[in-house]
Amino acid sequence: MATLDPKPNNTCPLCGGPNGCAPAAAGSFDAPCWCTTAVIDPSALARVPEAQRNLACICRRCATGKEEAGTN
């Protein structure tokens, strides 16, 4: 049985900034990520280009419409 590894894509497909995907950075789904506890706006997911769906994670700002304290 083949195991799935996270795609090594660290760029948000919506804004082009870093997506903060810990599993992509670590190369393992065992790495905890901010997205597991975030409420992600369905309209943000709908804006991901078809060619990048399931290949790249969106960043927290695009996912929630909010900036994290201390980030630009």
Q: What is the pLDDT along the chain (72 residues), one digit of tens a residue?
A: 445 777 788 899 999 999 999 998 898 889 999 988 999 999 999 999 999 888 889 999 999 886 554 444
For residue 10, count CB atoms less than 10 angstroms from its CB and return exposed for 0-12, middle for 13-18, buried for 19 or more: middle
Lookup: tokens for 38: 């975030």
pLDDT score recorded for residue 59 = 94
HSE value, Cβ hemisphere, 13 Å, CA-based, for 53: 7
**Under a CB-based contact definition with an 8 Å cutoff, are residues 41 and 34 in contact?**
no
Residue 39 to residues 16, 44, 60, Cα–Cα distance (Å): 21, 11, 10
pLDDT score recorded for residue 7 = 77
